[in-house]
Amino acid sequence: MTGVYIPAALRGNLRKYKYAGTDKSLVSRYILQPYWNTIINYVPMWMAPNLVTLSGFMFIVVNVIVTLALSENLTVPLPSWCYYMFGVFLFLYQSLDAIDGKQARRTGQSGPLGELFDHGCDALNSTLTVICVSSALDIGHSYWHLVSLVCTLGNFYLSTWEEYHTGVLALSYFSGPVEGILGVVAMFLATGLYGPRFWHQPTPLLALPLYQTFIYLSIAIIAFNIITSLINVVHVKRSGAIRALGGLAPFIGTSALVAAWAMLWPPLVESHAVPLSLYVTFLFGLLVGRIIVAHVVKAPFPFTNVAMVPLVVIVANLAVEKATGIRAIPADMDVTVLWATVGWSALAYAHFAKDVIGDICAELDIWCLVIKHPLHKKKV
């Protein structure tokens, strides 16, 4: 059976794929690597690398479920133990996310499915964790929540775009998967100790609340990483740089549409941050997932995204109302349409994941969460 996302003519490239990555982080090299090299020895050899990845991701899912169960609109402060748990679980996610590649090598299971599965979970985590962060900073009902979503996804999108064009996943001296996550872990622990309102007090020497300082600092770091990605791609592509830069259009266009939605319908951010976050999670998850697949099989860069369809329709409806006062979709249907959009994007992402995982497993004769062909050699 022919899948939708991997052309039959390109499936042979799955067998040729080899992961390439660099990590310049000093924290990773001198502190975390020794820790990761130790804990990998406690992972049983029968455990599939993707199961390690999924186990880590489930910690993030638990964090989000607890947040939504106790603060549906991200406006109610959570008990202190929640924020401590968020910090610990996020650190555990980082740990398992870091050793899944080590587990793949020690069990002889390295391959393209591992990168897709790993990056897919990372993409979803990037947005889902923002839900917990907004609760901790008490900004879930403000435009700062939307800013945090877009900036976090911008960093991840640019890294994926860079990997597609350079063939290398490059982590800088200060990267999201390492220092970024550790910074968020520290923020969660501080919130557990002092409470969310702590972040609304003035920053010493600055006329800004602490949460804004935290976000501006994050934006500055993300901007540095984005500039680095741009420089790396332009350097590698040279004469084809303009064409490569066109790959930023899906992210820019999608971000602009989400921003337009928020401006044309303010309740989206003020009262419905949770469904907005869930929609953006699956929307961008599908966006970067398709780039990763294209990178692995050497397919043309993907510009389309079926999850964008409802976004375009909604913004067009609101724009027409702004210009003419006429609505095709009644105002009393806005919330229903929003949740329907979440469902559409979730189904689109689920279809993508099932289709791609099925194709890769069939082509390489492997299973996703279980080791089908064990490596029969002694553990080193």
* Measured distance CA(349)–CA(341) in Å, rounded: 12
Query: Which residues lie below 8 Å from residue 327, measured CB to CB, with a gap of 6+?
Result: 317, 320, 321
Contact in structure between 311 and 341 (CB atoms under 8 Å)? yes
* Measured distance CA(22)–CA(173) in Å, rounded: 10
Distances (CA, A) of 60 to 185, 344, 353: 12, 22, 19
* CA 103, 166, 231, 249 torsion-angle sign: negative
Query: Which residues lie below 8 Å from residue 34, measured CB to CB, with a gap of 6+?
Result: none
The active-site residue out of 119, 145, 272, 295 is 119
**Taking each helix axis from N to C terminus, what angle separates 143-166 and 112-137, rounded to the nearest 10 degrees?**
160
Contact in structure between 156 and 123 (CB atoms under 8 Å)? yes
200 has catalytic annotation:
no
The catalytic residues are 119
